[in-house]
Amino acid sequence: MNESKLILVLGDQLSLNQPAVKQAQPGRDIIVLAEVVEEATYVRHNRHKIALLFAAMRHFRLELEALGHTVHYIAIDQGVASLEEAVSNVLAQTATNEVIICEPGEYRLVNQMRTAWPSSLGVPVTVLEDDRFLASHEDFEIWAHGKKQLRMEFFYRKMRERYQILMDEGQPAGGKWNYDADNRVGWRNQVGIPSRPDVTPDAITAEVIDTVNATFPDNPGNLERFRLAVTRADAERQFDWFVDNALVDFGTYQDALVEESPWVFHGLISMYLNSGLLEPLAVCERAEKAWREGKCSLSAAEGFIRQVLGWREYIRGIYWLLMPEYKTRNTLGATRRLPNYFWDANTEMRCLSRAIGQSLDHGYAHHIQRLMVIGNFALLAGLDVMEVCDWYLAVYVDAYEWVELPNTLGMALYGDNAVIASKPYAASGKYIQKQGNHCQQCRYKPTKVTGPDACPFNSLYWRFIDKHIDKFGKNPRMGLVVANWRKRDPDEREVIVRWADKMMEDWT
């Protein structure tokens, strides 16, 4: 009997360490990489994201072939409709008679592979758990079991203990688990921001860029600015640069909103972690080493490690624990259509225009832009939860449903019945002013609540509190804000809410 297996590797699984690739035997099995229409079009992906994946897939093919593997590569111009069709074609053309896949990051695909593929393809299909994540599905279920609240902080502490990251003799390094309080400094041009080294596209990547421009002419993303790493070696070099040059200020300015720089001191590694070019444990260990060698403060290293070992794993745990029901949630009943400027950044709100503009152009915005500028705006304006989630899934180079959905639906839009956030991440213009320097360039004034030059975030904020006052009144963490609003003169409250309503009518 021929035991040759077909190993399907998805565009975001480009690692020699993923379980399906680890099983592949040169000379016996066939590895399939497929650029397919369905994956490239299920949302209007940013061209940076498509180019990153296609170029990384083409480079990964070479890496696999150099190790002696047989690779069947399907390029986008072959017009193959779906991953299923790709696998079916290769099964028909080769002597393979079993399919092995590392679990995809989306419920949609896992469900198809587990339930439909075995009968439609007529061969056994094995979906292996992705053990590059640091908490397995079972680990997360055990941790979550019986808990009333699933708070990231407690999950994170368990992960620190389990992986012995930033631990000294059984205690958290420095005596505290979390140094977030040191990491909220607003931007006032305190220090210089180092310029990032670009990766110059090679011939393979240049060809992909041309193909993506020609095949997806209406998608967002300006590929003249494509400078991402598409190989593990280059991604590691980018991360090394971050550790040597930016980690030192990462913690302090993690929440800063900076007019002059989209990247500030952030890692720019989510696109590499999520596509397989970097591995989460390795980057955490590297950040710890930098601290132990005196290259950065403990708060910088801890702040970074918390994002990767804590938030990233926690968010994924929530996704798999609560899908598919999670995606149907819309706790605040938000249904307003997305304004057109989400697709062209053409708004006079400077903070929003900068955050949306760079998201469209580069496929990148840092966490506070995603959460406290764009997400906050969508939350306050009551924008349709699924439309907003689809927008996030489309525009960011690092966006896959397992990580995008809980962050957007749960964290930013408070739409998941308070699983992720115990109170909404809602803020007025005052917060945005405190965190950075966008307001100085804006035609609106963050100090004004109503009137043509008033910052729209202000009246929207109070309208939001007013609209959901019954719900928020019961939340102890919202008590002060609700009490402040209730104390105000009813006529004044009405003027503010009316102003916000009028502004929103003008947008649609």
Binding site for ligand FAD (CB under 6 A): 266-270, 273-274, 304, 307-308, 311-312, 315, 366-367, 370-371, 375, 392, 396, 398-399, 403-404, 407-408, 411-412
Residue 347 interacts with, from ligand DLZ, ligand FAD, ligand SF4, none (CB under 5-8 Å by kind) = none
Tokens of 36: 């397919």
Q: Which is nearer to ligand FAD, 432 or 454 (CB)?
A: 432
- H-type alpha helices, 94-202: 107-111, 117-121, 137-144, 152-163
HEC-encoded secondary structure of 285-316: HHHHHHHHCCCCCHHHHHHHHHHHHHHHHHHH
| Residue whose entry in the numeric block shows the structure tokens 């397989």 | 276
d(CA 285, CA 125): 35
Closest residue to bound ligand FAD by CB:
267
Angle, helix 298-305 to helix 280-292, in steps of 10 degrees: 170
Q: Which is nearer to ligand FAD, 304 or 485 (CB)?
A: 304
Q: Which is nearer to ligand FAD, 86 or 287 (CB)?
A: 287
Size of the site for ligand SF4 (CB under 6 A): 14
Does residue 437 bind ligand SF4 (CB under 6 A)?
no
Q: Which is nearer to ligand FAD, 257 or 411 (CB)?
A: 411
Residue 269 interacts with, from ligand FAD, ligand SF4, ligand DLZ, none (CB under 5-8 Å by kind) = ligand FAD
CB of 121 to ligand DLZ, least distance (A): 16
Phi, psi angle pair for 445, to nearest 5°:
-110, 125
DSSP-derived 3-state class of residue 334: coil
Rounded to 5 degrees, what angle do the CA atoms 203, 206, 211 make?
125
Q: Pick from 366, 418, 405: which is nearest to 150 by CA?
A: 418
Sole binder of ligand SF4 in the list 172, 280, 375, 446 (CB under 6 A): 446
Tokens of 95: 């002597």
Angstrom CA distances, 328 to 36, 215, 387, 389, 415, stand at 27, 32, 12, 12, 10
CB of 380 to ligand SF4, least distance (A): 11
Q: Which is nearer to ligand DLZ, 177 or 396 (CB)?
A: 396
Stretch that binds ligand SF4, among 66-74, 307-315, 396-404, 432-440 (CB under 6 A): 432-440
d(CA 301, CA 293): 11
225 half-sphere exposure, CB direction, 13 A CA radius: 15
Does residue 444 bind ligand SF4 (CB under 6 A)?
yes
Residue 389 interacts with, from ligand SF4, ligand FAD, ligand DLZ, none (CB under 5-8 Å by kind) = none
Tokens of 289: 């080493």
DSSP-derived 3-state class of residue 6: strand
Residue 39 interacts with, from ligand SF4, ligand DLZ, ligand FAD, none (CB under 5-8 Å by kind) = ligand DLZ
DSSP-derived 3-state class of residue 53: helix
CB of 342 to ligand SF4, least distance (A): 15
Q: Pick from 89, 59, 63, 64: which is nearest to 74 by CA?
A: 89
Q: Which is nearer to ligand SF4, 266 or 438 (CB)?
A: 438
CB of 284 to ligand FAD, least distance (A): 10
CB of 499 to ligand SF4, least distance (A): 14
Sole binder of ligand SF4 in the list 155, 250, 391, 457 (CB under 6 A): 457
Stretch that binds ligand SF4, among 35-43, 57-65, 94-102, 440-448 (CB under 6 A): 440-448
**Window 390-429: contact mask with ligand SF4 (x via CB under 6 A):** ---------------------------------------x
d(CA 305, CA 289): 11
CB of 455 to ligand SF4, least distance (A): 3
Q: Would you tell me which residues interact with ligand DLZ (CB under 6 A)?
A: 10-12, 34-36, 39-40, 45, 50, 53, 83, 104-106, 109, 400
HEC-encoded secondary structure of 338-377: CCHHHCCCCCCCHHHHHHHHHHHHHCCCCHHHHHHHHHHH
Q: Pick from 328, 344, 432, 345: which is nearest to 380 by CA?
A: 432
Asked whether 158 and 306 are in contact (CB, 8 A), the reply is no
Does residue 442 bind ligand SF4 (CB under 6 A)?
yes
The continuous run of DSSP H or E covering 34 comes out as strand 30-34
Residue 266 interacts with, from ligand SF4, ligand DLZ, ligand FAD, none (CB under 5-8 Å by kind) = ligand FAD
Does residue 432 bind ligand SF4 (CB under 6 A)?
yes
Closest residue to bound ligand DLZ by CB:
11
Q: What is the DSSP string of 438-492?
A: SGGG-SSBTT-SSSTTB-HHHHHHHHHHHHTHHHHHT-GGGHHHHHHHHHS-HHH
The continuous run of DSSP H or E covering 7 comes out as strand 6-9
CB of 151 to ligand SF4, least distance (A): 29
Does residue 377 bind ligand SF4 (CB under 6 A)?
no
Residue 105 interacts with, from ligand DLZ, ligand SF4, ligand FAD, none (CB under 5-8 Å by kind) = ligand DLZ
d(CA 257, CA 253): 9
Q: Which is nearer to ligand FAD, 82 or 261 (CB)?
A: 261
**Window 334-353: contact mask with ligand SF4 (x via CB under 6 A):** ---------------xxx--
Residue ranges that bind ligand SF4, judged by CB under 6 A:
349-351, 429, 432-433, 438-439, 442, 444, 446, 455-457
